[in-house]
């Protein structure tokens, strides 16, 4: 057997995704310790908004207890900067697992990568905010144009959660295919809303009622306007467009249709918004019946036309036989139209939200980093 190799891991953010990630790593550890060479994925720091636990001597924290210990910890939270510095001093290669949606943490990526720390994350902010941050990240990363001693960065779960969306797009581009168009349903919330509001074959409730139902089932953000404004989809489209080679400045640099009626933009709370939304059901019903007359259904989609550099987020009509129309539940679907694949797109479909599948994308990225850092 070859010498064991250790990778030091810091997890920031232990909400639903962070917790699922820790559980997945816990299940992985025994198998990886038996690999050749043995791989020791060593958790050394766990941090959330008000608490942190770290291992002073870079020993492995006990994953079966660490989340409980974190909840009961009364220690004061050290500044983020100090925790990151602790990570850069780990006695071996280290990975920062950012399970937050914190733009401040995202802004530290270029510096961390340059210091040799790898990053795996479902945090969309880092990759969809201003283009300059994207460029700094990839010019600092070993899997960008940075030094081979830099860290690697992977962010599969920023689009479609654990679905292999970004890895597939990267492979199409890297092997020299020409991506013509990317089109799909990129939000579990929007998928659920429109599959319920206007199912293929007729039926479905009032739009405002479907929004309320989606909120009750936990399919929306606490304030449903954060889904209905289209910004989440716009961030995902920004990431895909950049990977396809377009220099998209920000998620507000292209047409994004909001489903929040103008008159309700000024509502002071999500509850007030939900109370007033039924007053606008007429508009949505009109849309529904006009689509039905053409034998179509309405869906909230994003699309990128690569040659014309057109990025678009909003409502579109689709034939009942179109794969986008036939989507079920809160599934995502992503269609890649490319030169090699011709008229029938390469399609990826499945759950695009949820703690377990999002964490799976993060864990998968961690395993990719571990394989790349392994000494041959």
347 is a site residue for a copy of itself (CB under 8 A): yes
341 is a site residue for a copy of itself (CB under 8 A): yes
Beta strands, E only, the chain: 5-12, 39-47, 52-54, 94-98, 118-120, 153-154, 179-185, 255-256, 296-305, 310-319, 331-338, 346-351
- Applying CB under 8 A, among 204, 205, 261, 323 the residue interacting with a copy of itself is 323
User: CA distances (Å), 13 to each of 99, 110, 211, 226, in order?
Assistant: 5, 19, 28, 20
Closest of 13, 11, 15, 21 to residue 358, by C-alpha: 21
Angle at 35 between CA 34 and CA 39, to 5 degrees: 90
120: left (phi over 0), alpha (psi -120 to 50) or beta: beta
* Residue 53: CB minimum distance to a copy of itself, A: 23
Query: What residues form the annotated binding site?
Result: 13-18, 100, 124, 221
Binding to a copy of itself in span 167-196, by CB under 8 A: 167-168, 171-172, 174-177
* Residue 223: CB minimum distance to a copy of itself, A: 26
* Residue 68: CB minimum distance to a copy of itself, A: 21
91 is a site residue for a copy of itself (CB under 8 A): no
64 is a site residue for a copy of itself (CB under 8 A): no
Q: How many residues sit in the footprint of a copy of itself (CB under 8 A)? A: 57
Only one of the segments 6-14, 54-62, 63-71, 161-169 lies at the binding site for a copy of itself (rule: CB under 8 A); that segment is: 161-169
What residue has token string 């939270």? 77
135 is a site residue for a copy of itself (CB under 8 A): no
In contact, 115 and 27? CB cutoff 8 Å = no
Closest of 114, 80, 86 to residue 98, by C-alpha: 80
Binding to a copy of itself in span 33-62, by CB under 8 A: 35-37
Q: What is the CA radius of gyration of the chain?
A: 22
92 is a site residue for a copy of itself (CB under 8 A): no
Q: How far apart are CA 81 and CA 188, in angstroms?
A: 34
- Applying CB under 8 A, among 14, 66, 348, 369 the residue interacting with a copy of itself is 348
143 is a site residue for a copy of itself (CB under 8 A): yes
Q: How far apart are CA 211 and CA 193, in angstroms?
A: 7
Estimate to the nearest angstrom the gap between the alpha carbon of 163 and the chain centroid: 10
| Residues annotated catalytic, as ranges | 236
* Residue 203: CB minimum distance to a copy of itself, A: 15
Q: How far apart are CA 163 and CA 352, in angstroms?
A: 7
Only one of the segments 95-103, 245-253, 277-285, 327-335 lies at the binding site for a copy of itself (rule: CB under 8 A); that segment is: 327-335
* Residue 142: CB minimum distance to a copy of itself, A: 7
In contact, 42 and 60? CB cutoff 8 Å = yes
350 is a site residue for a copy of itself (CB under 8 A): yes
Query: What residues form the annotated binding site for L-homoserine?
Result: 221
2 is a site residue for a copy of itself (CB under 8 A): yes
- Applying CB under 8 A, among 97, 244, 304, 360 the residue interacting with a copy of itself is 360
How many residues make up the chain in this entry?
376
Of residues 93 and 288, the one with the C-beta less far from a copy of itself: 93
Of residues 170 and 242, the one with the C-beta less far from a copy of itself: 170
DSSP H stretches of helix in 141-198 = 165-174, 188-197
In contact, 235 and 251? CB cutoff 8 Å = yes
Q: How far apart are CA 111 and CA 52, in angstroms?
A: 22
110 is a site residue for a copy of itself (CB under 8 A): no
- Applying CB under 8 A, among 46, 66, 142, 353 the residue interacting with a copy of itself is 142
> In the complex, which residues of this chain contact a copy of itself (CB under 8 A)?
2, 24, 27-28, 35-37, 142-143, 145-149, 162-164, 167-168, 171-172, 174-177, 321, 323, 326, 328-329, 331, 336, 340-351, 354, 356-357, 360, 363-364, 367, 371-376
């Amino acid at each position: 057997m070859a010498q064991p190799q250790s990778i030091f891991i810091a997890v920031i953010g232990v909400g639903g995704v962070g917790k699922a990630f820790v559980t997945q790593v816990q299940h992985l550890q025994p198998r990886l310790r038996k690999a050749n060479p043995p791989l020791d994925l060593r958790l050394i720091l766990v941090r959330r908004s008000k608490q942190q636990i770290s291992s002073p001597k870079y020993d492995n924290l006990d994953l079966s207890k660490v989340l409980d210990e974190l909840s009961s910890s009364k220690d004061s939270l050290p500044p983020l900067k100090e925790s990151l510095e602790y990570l850069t001093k780990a006695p071996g290669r280290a990975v920062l697992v950012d399970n937050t949606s914190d733009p401040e943490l995202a802004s530290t990526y270029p510096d961390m990568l340059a210091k040799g720390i790898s990053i795996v994350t479902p945090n969309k902010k880092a990759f969809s905010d201003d283009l300059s941050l994207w460029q700094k990240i990839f010019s600092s990363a070993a899997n960008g144009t940075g030094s081979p001693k830099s860290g690697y960065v992977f962010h599969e779960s920023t689009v479609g959660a654990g679905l292999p969306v970004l890895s597939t797009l990267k492979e199409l581009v890297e092997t020299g295919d020409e991506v013509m168009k990317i089109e799909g349903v990129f939000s579990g919330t929007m998928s659920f809303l429109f599959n319920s509001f206007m199912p293929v074959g007729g039926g479905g409730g009032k739009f405002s009622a479907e929004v309320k139902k989606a909120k009750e089932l936990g399919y929306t953000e606490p304030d449903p306007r954060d889904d209905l404004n289209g910004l989440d989809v716009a961030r995902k489209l920004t990431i895909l467009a950049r990977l396809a080679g377009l220099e998209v400045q920000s998620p507000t640099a292209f047409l994004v249709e909001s489903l929040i009626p103008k008159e309700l933009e000024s509502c002071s709370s999500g509850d007030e918004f939900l109370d007033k939304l039924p007053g606008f059901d007429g508009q949505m019903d009109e849309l529904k019946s006009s689509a039905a007359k053409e034998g179509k259904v309405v869906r909230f989609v994003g699309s990128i036309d690569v040659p014309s550099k057109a990025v678009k987020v909003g409502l579109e009509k689709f034939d009942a036989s179109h794969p986008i129309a036939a989507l079920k539940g809160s599934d995502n679907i992503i269609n890649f139209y490319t030169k090699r694949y011709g008229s029938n797109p390469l399609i990826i479909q499945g759950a695009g939200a949820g703690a377990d599948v999002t964490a799976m994308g993060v864990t998968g990225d961690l395993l990719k980093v571990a394989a790349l850092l392994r000494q041959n």
